[in-house]
Amino acid sequence: MVRILRPFTRAVTYTRWLHLAMAIVWPSLWLFIDEAWWTVGTATVLLGLAGLVPAVRVVEGLQARLLLTGHGDVGESSEIVVAPSATWGDRGRMVLWLQTRLFLGVLVSHLSLQLLFLAVDLVSTAISGERGGAWLAVEGRHWWHALLAPLPLVLAAAVVVGSGHLITRIALRLLGPSPAERLAALEERTEQLLERTRIARELHDSIGHALTVAVVQAGAARAAGDPAFTARALGAIEETGRAALEDLERVLGVLRESEKPVSGRPTLADADRLLESARASGAKVDAEVTGPVETVPGPVSREGYRILQESLTNVLRHAGAVPVHVRVDVADDTLVLAIRNPLPAGTPGSGRGSGLRGIRERAALLGGRARTGPDEGDWQVHAELPLR
């Protein structure tokens, strides 16, 4: 019983009926002013012409969102588009929507009012024998007419609830996004997911590198027992922490200003900072840079920097202070990154892991390729990124 009465406690039940009633306001005024010119055919033609106007879709979408979806129903509201008609398919659906709303509005409004009049007539004839304006004739003066009065009210309530659900379903169908708009929304959602994935990688690379260097430096300083070495280690930790904070600020800038391009992200021109950080952690880094690194396109240079950063982080994390050979070669429209280090005994040689997978994904994203894994007793990361 409570479930049956629940729709009547919601404001949207009555705003949906109002939405239908509003559709017959202009035909009613037209009929009142000039009855001779008002016909169903003329009204249909006018609605057809109105539906071809792109801006009408905006007006109808706003009305439907406001009156049909309960104001807070985000799921249904998002399925009703508030945008001008962009294609003839949109215009055709708008014409069909306007005509459907008009005829359903006429039917529901007339039926609701007549049922209310019928309930009043039943009470009136039971008391005085006089009837009002209901289309269903109620003759005579009988006391039992009053017992039938609730029946038209129940039917009117069912009409209000049922027509509200019906017009909402029709609105979601005719005022919803077109296939092109759904595809555009899907592409936008995909771009957002890709951006979130990139942000996660940025955080993994920058913060993971900083923490690895800090842990290695702190452990080395504690084991060395040399004040001078400890001072250098603390300086390296401080410098790496500052760099990580700068990277974190850049990544957070993407979240705060998602529509603006990210500027100032580190590129291969800043690779010296990575190399010095690794050297300060005890690794013996031998770097070989050939070719004009400064001419590498921004996206390729930024991803190359992250690949180099992740590779050095893996060396410090898994191999410790070992000799590392880094080669950066820019030639023949290709950027080559090669990082090679000895693989200590007992170190796992698996090519799995989120960091290594991220290196391969970064290379593939730019149309390049990357290989990671053991090679003749060494661990090697070899990436080739096209410059075009």
Kindly give, in sequence order, each residue whose CB lies less than 8 Å from that of residue 281, ignoring residues fewer than 6 positions away: 213, 216, 217, 220, 236, 316, 321
Give the other-Cβ count within 10 Å of 261's Cβ. Answer: 8
**Beta pairing partners, 372:** 381
Q: Which one-letter DSSP state was computed for residue 268? A: G
- Measuring CA to CA, how many Å separate 141 from each of 40, 117, 135, 222? 39, 17, 18, 106
Q: Which residues of 123-133 are buried (b: 16+ CB within 10 A; e: fewer)?
A: ebbbeeeebee
Listed as own residue / partner, the contacts of 340-343 with beta carbons closer than 8 Å and 24 or more positions apart are: 340/375, 340/378, 340/379, 340/380, 340/381, 341/283, 341/315, 341/378, 341/379, 342/377, 342/378, 342/379, 343/319, 343/374, 343/377, 343/378, 343/379
Residue 138 in tokens: 């109620």
Element (H, E) at 352: none
Give the other-Cβ count within 10 Å of 204's Cβ. Answer: 16
| CATH 3.40.640.10 is right for the domain spanning 265-387 | no
CA distance 129 to 117: 15
Q: Are 97 and 51 in contact (CB under 8 A)?
A: yes
Kindly give, in sequence order, each residue whose CB lies less than 8 Å from that of residue 115, ignoring residues fewer than 6 positions away: 152, 153, 155, 156, 159
Burial class (CB in 10 A: 0-12, 13-18, 19+), 216: buried
- Residue range 33-83, pLDDT digits in tens: 666 556 667 777 888 888 889 899 999 988 888 888 865 444 555 688 888
What is the residue-level pLDDT of the chain in tens, covering all 388 positions? 567 778 777 888 888 989 888 888 877 776 666 665 566 677 778 888 888 898 999 999 888 888 888 654 445 556 888 888 888 888 999 999 999 998 899 899 888 888 888 887 777 777 776 666 556 666 666 677 778 888 888 898 899 999 999 999 999 888 888 887 777 777 767 766 766 776 677 677 767 777 777 777 777 777 777 777 777 777 777 777 777 777 676 666 656 545 444 455 778 888 888 888 888 777 888 899 888 888 888 888 888 888 898 888 888 877 777 899 999 999 878 999 999 998 776 555 544 456 677 788 888 878 888 888 888 778 889 999 988 7
CA distance 197 to 193: 6
Q: Is 35 helix (H, G, I), strand (E, B) or coil?
A: coil
Give the other-Cβ count within 10 Å of 11's Cβ. Answer: 10
Alpha-carbon dihedral 75, 23, 11, 177, rounded to 10 degrees: 0
Residue 304 in tokens: 């190359």
CA distance 305 to 258: 22
